[in-house]
Chains A and B, each alone.
Chain A
Amino acid sequence: MAEKIMKFSVARYRPETDSEPHFQDFEVPYIHETSLLEALNYIKDNLEPELSFRWSCRMAVCGSCAMMVNGVPKLACKTFLRDYDPNKVMKIEPLANFPIERDLVVDISDFIEKLERIKPYIIPAEKDKNKPLTEGYLQTPQQMEMYRQFAQCINCGICYAACPQYKLNKDFIGPAALTLLYRYNIDSRDAGARERMKIMSQDEGVWSCTFVGYCSQVCPKHVDPAQAIQLGKKASAIDYVIKMFKPGEE
């Protein structure tokens, strides 16, 4: 199999010595199956051992290796060199909209904090609180299908890199976290929707979204966060109307 050569321009930033990021060029041989992650590991093993990036599973499920490829947020392990023009340079940068920690590693602690904030766990109804461990809830395939797609998020952060609202306002809870919130709200086992409504309806919640829709376009798992957020807006609006007629109800 004939090996081809791909040219890379990779963003470097070393907090100990650099004041701002710069680019370093590499050339990597590749075959039909070579992923960007493999190319980066080739660079680390053979050309520049210093280069830092997160990775683990190699199969697009752990969510570690999100980065910007020619300006588009992608998982490095699910990006293949064969899809790029070998006569051009592939530009690799850290995931947009997050602070750069080092090279291609970004600080995602803000995103993680938001995931934690939205109460992403089943809040059972009073009658289900002491359900014995010998039985489960009944949940039909259709009831599961209601939230299944929104439960596929791998927390890679790509939707945050795609979101102009998050770029402009870091208080925005953001696509993945709001999707997870909605996922639990519509799970038939959950009774916590009212508790989460406050979070969803606040300024940083669903109403900060202007439905750009790029998050859904780039999501590597087809979670469609934009849809979850619009459905959240619908629920929030209905809740607002109900509160107008029944004030004082929590």
Chain B
Amino acid sequence: MSGAVDPTLPLPARRRNPRRRATRHGVVALALLGAVLLAAPLLPEGALSIDRAARALPPDPAHPIGTDMLGRDIAARTLAALAKSVQVGLLAAGASTLVAVVLGLAATFGRAADHVVGVLTELALGLPHFVLLIMIAFAMGGGTTGVVVAVALTHWPRLSRIMRHEAQGIATSDYVAISRALGRSRLWVARHHLAPHLVPQIIAGFIVIFPHAILHEAGLSFIGLGIEPHLPSIGVMMSESLREIMAGHWWVAAAPGLGLMLIALAFERFGEALRQLSGPPGATT
């Protein structure tokens, strides 16, 4: 993450304010992420187990956010679900970013490669996002793997387009041409000229994809194509809460909904701040 706020980057003075903003949002988002990931394994044993004596309890001191129809503590379950969602989100966003970077760099290898990547990207952008997600998750037979693959295969095009654009811009610039003329290899150029310029873009892209990945994981689990229904996951909890809300058990939906919203919002803002900081003006990821 440090690359995003690398002080050696040549930044005009007027961007100092956005930089501080990015740092602030970054600290919030990363603190949330760290808290969820660190706290989930610390849940006491049995915190997630069912308890028939404590079914559908409203919030009370023993269960600060109440329990669901099977007597599971909502607070513990939400935390575990967030951790699970965040892990799936990190994995899926990572894979998606990787796809985008590979395709973006591949576009610099000649006109034909550029054309192929361009067409592929436009094609993927043209397809309805969630429909494609559902199709891939369904074809993979659902489950956690299905979600990760589906999200990874659907979130790369926007970032890939930026990568391609950026990489091309750098590859055709004068100093790269001079570098090549001085006998530097393609690899050397890629490492010393392309990479430093692309890293901030990659990180910003990853951060922006991440909340989308979490939200889509929740969406897929919600419609029953994602994580198995007895495992803690935000989408599963929301889907279960549907029938409980109708019975007046509002607390079953509140915690997972707010938790998901908080994390997604924090990363969305962090990503947005980063994008403004490092991206070309007007580019959207």
Tell whether A pairs with B.
no
Interface residues of B (CB under 8 A from A): none
